[in-house]
Structure 1
Amino acid sequence: MKLKFKNQQFQTDAAKAVTDVFQGQKNAALLEFTHDLGTDNGGFFDAVGYKNQPIEVSYSEVLNHIREIQMAAQLKPTESFDRADLRLTIEMETGTGKTYTYIKTMFELNRLYGWSKFIIVVPSIAIREGVCKSFEVMSEHFAAEYGKRIQSFVYDSSQLTKIDQFASDSNMHVMIINTQAFAARGEDARRIYMKLDAFRSRRPIDVIAATNPILIIDEPQSVLGADKKNATRNRLKEFNPLFTLLYSATHRADDIVNMIYRLDAMDAYNKKLVKKISVVGIEQKGSTATNGYLYLESIELSEGNPRARIGFDKRVGNGVKQVTQLVADRFDVYQNSGELQEYANNYRVTEIDGYNRCIHLQNGITLSEGEVIGAVNEQVIRKAQIRATILAHIEKERKLFRQGIKCLSLFFIDHVDNYREADGGKGIYAQIFEEEYERIVGELQLRFSDDPEYVKYLKSFSSDQVHDGYFSRDKKNNVVESKAKESENELR
């Protein structure tokens, strides 16, 4: 299957915001310089290299252009900027084609001003691979639009000949590099600053810096970090950038300088560029030591009086288990729990308030939807969150079912083994998920009796078929913890 791309006005506008900063700059060929090819058997070699032409537009003209762009876009106007470290900020909501936009911006900068040397800095190997894939799949699209191609490569300290090609070729080139390749403490990271025999006694950073590249930072809040004195910030200057473009949906406030384009979440939603995301929360209320466990999942309205779906502990045989039940006014939790002592203090529902979406108990406690009280540990909260997500998912899925639109719900979890154990077994979250999914589907079949087609669809999948996880893997294909200690689980 071949992907097709089309120009969208907001992406064109974002690229134009960058190019308009340099109005008046001559469209000139790359500037030639003496490209040091290093030493070989005692001899010195050099050749013609190509670098970006310097910015010839005056400081005051660039500042005026930036301010004009900002005023038209209702952005905070720039007072001044550092000519030696010109940075332009572009904010684009996640899912609006940020990578496409900065690739398009490269082609526009080349078309208008002849600039052809670019470096993209990304915060991780995973994002780096995604960017590389974008260049691959978008190659034909941009070649058709601009009549040329951009040569892209990933910086690799073991494949340094590509740096020579980057410096010695007059065509468009982009080097993609992750911060670990130049700002970490390992030997591979240090190689970019070392004179290497394999690179004919040259430092890779010197050859790269001689091209005066345009620096593009993807997700600067992750690349730069919060520490103003960290290694990455300082070492980026050694690339000797002509100027720097920062692209993200979530810039750090103190890193926003010279913002020239903004497409925030509300703009993206209003333009129908991204889908709406719903978030369901569980809130713990009151003391965990003095109250019995009680969770108000939802208020259900019907032609009669409203009812409440609550979770509480119930004596079953010789043990106690948590149950969820649809109840009406005057429901006595104490009696229905098997007379557990924790509910002896007037745990009787006196009012179910459908307007304010809450319940009132005889002991004075009021619970709103999503609130939980009592002897609550982390597992109880996780169980309530999983159940709430399944309910919200099914509600949304039922609405979209006849339109053929897939509904997706995500869980972000703290440790892989909470979902999938090392031997391939199911972790505690997976077990809770399957228990709650089966319970919920069983409860909802009667409520959905007027929609037999959707009920049939629900029943066509077992609980272990509707969820799966995405995790980092080692070379033996075993799931491992990611550095961020966060993994993603998907409900389909």
Structure 2
Amino acid sequence: MKIQLETLPHQTAALKAIDQAFPGMDTYASDPDANYIYANPLVKYRYQEKANIDVKMETGTGKTFVYTRLMYELHQKYGLFKFVIAVPSPSIKEGTKSFITSDYAKQYFSQFFENTQIQLNVINAGDFSAKSGRRNFPAQLAEFVEGTRQNTNQIQVLLINSGMLHSKSMHRDDYDQTLLGGETSPIKAIAATRPIVIIDEPHRFPRGKKFYADIEELKPQLIYRFGATFPEITTGRGKNKITKTDYYRGFPQFNLNAIDSFNQGLVKGIDVDYPDISEREANARYKVKSAKAKELTLTRSGKDYTIGVGENLADIDPDFAGSITYEGGTDRELSNGLALAKDMELIPGTFAESYQDEILKQALDYHFEAETRNFLRPEAEANAPRVKTLSLFFIDSISSLRGQGNDKGWLAEHFEKLLVDKLNSLIAKYELAIDDREKEYHDFLQATLASLQSEHQDVYAGYFSEDRNSSDDDIQAEVDDILKNKEKLLSFKDEQGNWLTRRFLFSKWTLREGWDNPNVFVIAKLRTSGSDISKIQEVGRGLRLPVDENGHRLTQDEWPSRLSFLIGYDEKDFATKLVGEINTDTPIKLDHEKLSDEMVALIVKAKQKSNPKLDAEKLHDEIINDLGQHGVIDFNRNFKDKVAVNGKTMSGYEAFLKLYPEVEHQTAVAQDRVRDLKKRHAATKVKLRKENWNQLKDLWQQLSKRQMIKFDDSINQLAEGVAADIFKDRDKKIFVLDEPQIIHQEIVTDQKGAKVTETQSDYHTAYRTMKYGAFLKQLTLQTDLPVPLLHQLMTKAMQDQLKNNTNYINEKTLGNLVKTFNRNFNDRIRTQYDYVPLDFSSSTSIYDAKKQTFVDELPAALLGVYSADATADPKYLYDRPPLRYDSTDPELMILRRTYSSQITVFGKLPKKAIKIPRFDNGTTTPDFIFKIDQDDGQTVYAVIETKAANMRLGDEEIRVIQQKYFDQLRESGVYYRMATSEDEVHSLIRKIEKKEISTDDVTD
């Protein structure tokens, strides 16, 4: 499989904001070196802080993608071509390198920046090693520094970590060669290129510290900082001491904070779980009194216990099971890798192997719960692409997994035993499967068991810092799969059709920032991480949204996904702390005493999301007037002490939140985005009011009928016409060469001195091409066009346009053909099809077709991510309060409105309640349904779609699809409408009640 990159809406917003913040180019510069071919052109306000730009993006939302695309755009728009990416650690450097050099990234960016390539130069430890007694610069450094802007198709990028940047090798000036004709210091040579610097993880580069000083020595024209966390600065002393986040220009130019990331479904939801222990064990805590290089002192119940280096904790308490010793030294670590600090608490029972077995067993249960759902995909469309499921385990020591010599570690033995038991149980369950997908899963499980019991298993793998120097082929294969072969880990089969069973990964905190895999669904910690690590960073390895086996990233609307995070009892408050950490990541603090302009601005921002045409200033004044009319605030905007809202007395601040709940949506994470599984089941289900749903049963028996999309008879002819037009490629943008280039430079000396001459040529023997048969096969698989037609069109294109140059047969051309055909074809067929009911029904999230009855309850998340109090309404489809919804305006407003007696049933439809097929694959479901008794006694239904900010399809596509579907039900009294406001919905319903409805009312 190949990962399919796409620019998501929040990434588009980030790039737009960054572009607007760019200071511009200095086209009137008086600098005599402005046109220096080895350096970037000049930027306005260069070397000044007002040129610098901060971009805040939460972990897992794609900041590496954004700053990679940013480099392409800055090169295309302004000719900037020299960038330095500074990262804090080698692991992050490896992750960045892996993304930029990946085939899927290159293929994606080639669609938008044709013939432009990034030349990535990576500086590693050891690159400066002296050879033959001479001290030379690394080739990567010379490549970056001496690249010229005359090669208009190449972007020079230098990737370096903070330790390497700070090293003596980068600052010394006694090398036996020069750069740019005179520079002997790497730092000064880079500075001479007038680079643009991108800092990844800016909190690791605080201003005033050594690593930021290294950045300043590079003399960047401007700095972009990308991160979820930014450094803090403290000013003043005592009572005047103020700590604030250090942003360029005082605030980030783009801010996608943790609250928005979770609430908008841009990352997975999180379930936190831990094994319980007895009250006696929980109270038997030891506190670290001191941790010194040569001894550790623990205290409990007023008594001190001293342990020397190499001594076993079990000597002071047998509940410290196993051979855990104090290692001491500068790290003050136990032999299991846990770094100790004063006042840290240790619970003996949580160190036992049996306790870790319990976490392992629970993790495997969660893994296979997710895996069966992701493989079988029972809630998705038939034959939906499978999703590979990965689990990540953080363990206490490498020896517990790898063991010594030919003997496996105890952890590996325990894990394999638990895994074999689980596999045998599932194999027995699917032994007599009839469904094709279940048969496949049975084969996958059998292949997993066979591999696990073979001499060289490939079911689980480990990566530890010690592995970098390993010569063991099996260990190297494991490391390569984890660090380099992301697409292999996400795939189910290799090129020969063999199952790829590796999906359990073990590490000792080495896989942290810089490593990610979108399909991690379970993280289990078999050791505590200490108290100084960000909770969001800890779960960050599993936050990214998953991709299916075709490489398509699945949004939360398409496939709701959650990360199961298992921890020890000693961190049982993890979920609470994580929520607290998320909620502190808010652009403003809510004032409980007085209404601020910032608080009003949050409401304006939320309302403009659903209706961008709203005037911000007018809306600002309307909100303040509304709060005044409700008696919530006085003339000075102070919240009043007591206010009556819906018959309840509360404070003015509480009333403010009731009237405008969108404030909390932007300043607090939604309840179901982070769940403590000990309290999970009580709060995540919504009960249906069966008596109300049964009023819709006749209609639902029609809606449960499976529908087939039937295209016009001319569809094949249309497809062939679209394809023929594309293959003509009039603009020469589809058939392209995948052509690396070489730059040749010579130093020429004449009477005037020395100068560099440069020529550019192609690697004519190194074109990236595909075999013609494989090219046609992929083209027909991805377009459904017949091979003979494609062969005919390709042959003609080769003769008429490409001069029979087979170098045009490559992955770039393939991608361009597929993308252009699908886009043009979908544009042409949007209305050229009908829905045909089939003679069988299917179950949905709300209806059991086999039993022909509605379900008793459903997950609350299917109704909406937010909840709000409401008065009881007997007409509503679910028990209330609370109400569940996704947007305040118009969804919550629609739900809270009081309707006439002619409305007998109303409510929000859960996701996948109807599953209307889309012509471009997938399904859609409208948002609301109303059962209406008209004046003459007839019963009709209003089905409403409300515009949402985060739709994958545009509003018009949604409207066309749903309108076409419901048109066939008009004789059954079903009226469909897309609405943008509560008033629009109310107006439509009033017209239906009075039988004043017209065709225009339901097709606009």
TM-score normalised per structure 2: 0.32
Q: 1:476 to 1:232 in 2, by over 3 A?
A: same
Alpha-carbon displacement from aligned partner over 1:400-437 (angstroms, at most 9, x marks no partner): 34223332221112322111124353212112212333
C-alpha distance in 1, partners of 2:41/2:407?
Answer: 56
Amino acid at match of 2:162: T
Amino acid at match of 1:396: A
More strand per residue: 1
Verify the 8 A CA contact 2:85 2:160 in the aligned structure 1: yes
1:9 maps to what in 2? 9
Where relative contact order (Cα < 8 A, 6+ residues apart) is larger, the structure is: 1
Alignment of 1:46-85 (within 5 A): 49-56=38-45, 83-84=48-49
C-alpha distance in 1, partners of 2:282/2:113?
Answer: 68
Q: 2:97 aligns with which of 132, 135, 139?
A: 132
Deviation at 1:104, TM superposition (A): 1.4
Verify the 8 A CA contact 1:95 1:274 in the aligned structure 2: yes
Verify the 8 A CA contact 2:52 2:222 in the aligned structure 1: yes
C-alpha distance in 1, partners of 2:161/2:357?
Answer: 38
Q: 1:24 to 1:164 in 2, by over 3 A?
A: closer
Amino acid at match of 1:387: K
Amino acid at match of 1:116: F
Amino acid at match of 2:142: T
Structure 2 gap segments, 5+ residues each: 128-136, 234-244, 285-346, 378-385, 484-506, 513-519, 523-1004
Alpha-carbon displacement from aligned partner over 1:58-105 (angstroms, at most 9, x marks no partner): xxxxxxxxxxxxxxxxxxxxxxxx944854322333443322211211
C-alpha distance in 2, partners of 1:182/1:90?
Answer: 22
Q: 2:138 aligns with which of 158, 171, 182?
A: 158
Verify the 8 A CA contact 1:469 1:488 in the aligned structure 2: no
Aligned pair count reads 369
Q: 1:121 to 1:486 in 2, by over 3 A?
A: same
Deviation at 1:20, TM superposition (A): 0.9
Deviation at 1:119, TM superposition (A): 0.7
C-alpha distance in 1, partners of 2:149/2:24?
Answer: 27
Verify the 8 A CA contact 1:93 1:263 in the aligned structure 2: yes
* 1:232 matches 2:211: yes
Identical columns (%): 27
* 1:109 matches 2:69: no
Q: 1:432 aligns with which of 396, 407, 414?
A: 414
User: Greater CA deviation, 374-383 or 456-465?
Assistant: 456-465
Amino acid at match of 1:429: L
C-alpha distance in 2, partners of 1:405/1:420?
Answer: 29
* 1:96 matches 2:61: yes
2:113 maps to what in 1? 146
Partner SS, residue 226 of structure 2: strand
Alpha-carbon displacement from aligned partner over 1:171-225 (angstroms, at most 9, x marks no partner): 54222112232214xxxx4344323222266212112112221110122334x27
1:65 maps to what in 2? none
1:181 maps to what in 2? 164
CA RMSD of aligned residues (A): 4.3
* 1:384 matches 2:358: yes
C-alpha distance in 2, partners of 1:7/1:218?
Answer: 20
Amino acid at match of 1:162: E
2:827 maps to what in 1? none
Verify the 8 A CA contact 2:54 2:224 in the aligned structure 1: yes
Q: 1:408 aligns with which of 383, 386, 390?
A: 390
Q: 1:445 to 1:53 in 2, by over 3 A?
A: closer
Amino acid at match of 2:12: T
Verify the 8 A CA contact 1:30 1:53 in the aligned structure 2: no
Q: 1:197 aligns with which of 176, 185, 202?
A: 176
Partner SS, residue 51 of structure 1: coil
Partner SS, residue 145 of structure 1: coil
Verify the 8 A CA contact 2:86 2:159 in the aligned structure 1: yes
1:18 maps to what in 2? 18
Deviation at 1:471, TM superposition (A): 3.7
Deviation at 1:121, TM superposition (A): 0.9
Verify the 8 A CA contact 2:55 2:225 in the aligned structure 1: yes
Deviation at 1:239, TM superposition (A): 0.6
Amino acid at match of 2:390: L
Structure 1 gap segments, 5+ residues each: 36-46, 58-81, 292-372
2:190 maps to what in 1? 208
Verify the 8 A CA contact 1:52 1:211 in the aligned structure 2: no
Alpha-carbon displacement from aligned partner over 1:334-377 (angstroms, at most 9, x marks no partner): xxxxxxxxxxxxxxxxxxxxxxxxxxxxxxxxxxxxxxx99553
Q: 1:434 to 1:237 in 2, by over 3 A?
A: same
Deviation at 1:393, TM superposition (A): 1.6
C-alpha distance in 1, partners of 2:521/2:407?
Answer: 18
Partner SS, residue 84 of structure 2: strand
Q: 1:23 to 1:215 in 2, by over 3 A?
A: closer
Alignment of 1:79-478 (within 5 A): 83-84=48-49, 87-136=52-101, 137=103, 138-147=105-114, 148-155=116-123, 156=127, 157-159=137-139, 160-166=141-147, 171=152, 172-184=155-167, 189-199=168-178, 202-222=184-204, 224=205, 230-252=209-231, 256-257=246-247, 258-265=251-258, 267-268=260-261, 272-284=265-277, 286-288=279-281, 377-403=351-377, 404-423=386-405, 425-440=407-422, 456=442, 458=445, 461-462=448-449, 466-472=459-465, 473-478=467-472
Larger-gyration structure (1/2): 2
C-alpha distance in 2, partners of 1:144/1:29?
Answer: 34
Partner SS, residue 177 of structure 2: helix
1:341 maps to what in 2? none
Partner SS, residue 280 of structure 2: coil
Verify the 8 A CA contact 2:25 2:42 in the aligned structure 1: no
